Amino acid sequence: MSQSSQQPQRTPLYEKHLESGGKMVDFAGWEMPINYGSQVKEHKQVREDAGMFDVSHMVVLDFKGAEVKAFLQKLLANDVARLKDAGKALYSGMLNKQGGVIDDLIVYYLADDFYRVVVNAATRENDLKWINSQMAAFDLTLTERDDLSMIAVQGPSARGKVVSLLSEADAKVASDLKIFFGAQLGDLFVARTGYTGEDGFEIILPNQQVADFWGQLIDAGVKPIGLGARDTLRLEAGMNLYGTDMDEGISPLQAGMAWTIAWEPTERDFNGRAALEKEKMEGSKSKLVGLVLEDKGVLRGHQKVITSHGEGEITSGSFSPTIGKSIALARIPSETQDNCFVEIRGKQLAVKIVKPPFVRNGKVLI
């Protein structure tokens, strides 16, 4: 049976979304809120105060065993050996043998024999199939934590509002967490990570507790935010969306993810290494850049980009509520340095090439 013919799944927060007036849509086989009224208001709520997203559709995988570190060093382009302190996190691509991105993910080092990995909902089936095919030669176990839900609380006031709900001891630990670190606080796994370009926490907790905690966050002044604003926030932050800005046919070098490849030590033979080394030596034919539209109009995915070195394509585009202009991520010929044009309804409109992110911690960077 295909994904489209199945009934969409619901997270444990489904009823809470309806209570808040969430407009539900099918997203990667899940019924999720696209907004609760105004996408622009929700976007600004996160940039200016605090908002929260139900990201329980994402997949939490716990890897345990004597050879888990060696396995992840093979599986991922980034090197988990860099993670030396308990709770430290790493962003990485999981690549195929050709160097294409199967998924992008976050991995947490919890102990020498215990790592937690969070992968995307839309790629769950493909990810698990690939991971299981790679595990055979290693001594470890994989547990899919479908007993856990996840809430992302983001914005300049986000951490303070979460900390206000914790016990004194847990509040101290959460307040002291550095960026890209997580800690288990009772039943809550609290990590200082996110997908918005704002500070905040991503919180993993048992399914049966998540609705109550969501209610506590609302009482603390955190507003529910839908997937629509999540997309414009991550675009402003210059963060890739899997399946849009990269996929199995695109390498990290073509997706603005070169910084996630750990080339040292040279003897670490991670999946896709040989293909990436060849591409690096020969030079990538394309690169991912940011675009800002100088004219009136809206940049959208799949619009044609015209440069002096050939054509490219917008991978993600939208109006930016923070900047007040249309912005995009686009894959264009590598040689392109000067500004270029986007074709919208038969017209060529001027766009400026910029280096993402466009916005970080509420500040416009372009």
CA 15 to chain CA mean position, Å: 25
- In order of their start, the domains of the chain are 3-53+147-236 (3.30.1360.120), 285-364 (2.40.30.110)
User: Residue 338: pLDDT band by 50, 70, 90 thresholds?
Assistant: confident
CA dihedral defined by 141, 177, 210, 148, rounded to 10 degrees? -10
| Per-residue pLDDT, 1 | 37
Whether residue 303 is predicted with pLDDT greater than 60 in this model: the reply is yes
pLDDT mean over 105-125: 97
Whether residue 4 is predicted with pLDDT greater than 60 in this model: the reply is no
Whether residue 177 is predicted with pLDDT greater than 90 in this model: the reply is yes
pLDDT mean over 232-245: 98
The C-alpha atoms of residue 48 and residue 11 are separated, in whole angstroms, by 27
Whether residue 267 is predicted with pLDDT greater than 60 in this model: the reply is yes
pLDDT tens readout for residues 84-109: 999 999 999 999 999 999 999 999 99
Token pair of 81, please? Answer: 């050996």
Token pair of 201, please? Answer: 């926490």
Residue bearing tokens 């980009």:
305
Mean pLDDT for all residues in the chain: 96
Whether residue 81 is predicted with pLDDT greater than 80 in this model: the reply is yes
CA 308 to chain CA mean position, Å: 32
The C-alpha atoms of residue 309 and residue 299 are separated, in whole angstroms, by 21
pLDDT tens readout for residues 184-219: 999 999 999 999 999 999 999 999 999 999 999 999
Look at residues 126, 143, 163 and name the one whose alpha carbon lies nearest to residue 50. Answer: 163
pLDDT tens readout for residues 276-299: 999 999 999 999 999 999 989 999
Residue bearing tokens 């996929």:
247
For the chain, give the number of residues: 366
Whether residue 2 is predicted with pLDDT greater than 50 in this model: the reply is no
State in Å, rounded, how far the first CA of the chain is from the last one.
Answer: 46
Look at residues 319, 156, 329 and name the one whose alpha carbon lies nearest to residue 228. Answer: 319
Token pair of 325, please? Answer: 């202009």
Query: Residues with Cβ < 8 Å from 302, sequence gap 6 or more?
Result: 313, 314
| Per-residue pLDDT, 209 | 98
Look at residues 191, 224, 180 and name the one whose alpha carbon lies nearest to residue 11. Answer: 224
pLDDT mean over 136-155: 97
| Per-residue pLDDT, 7 | 86
- Count H helices and E strands in the chain, helices first: 9, 21
| Per-residue pLDDT, 3 | 45
Q: What pTM, to 2 d.p., does this model score?
A: 0.96
Token pair of 182, please? Answer: 């997580």
| Per-residue pLDDT, 5 | 53
| Per-residue pLDDT, 6 | 75
Burial of 207 (0-12, 13-18, 19+ CB in 10 A): middle
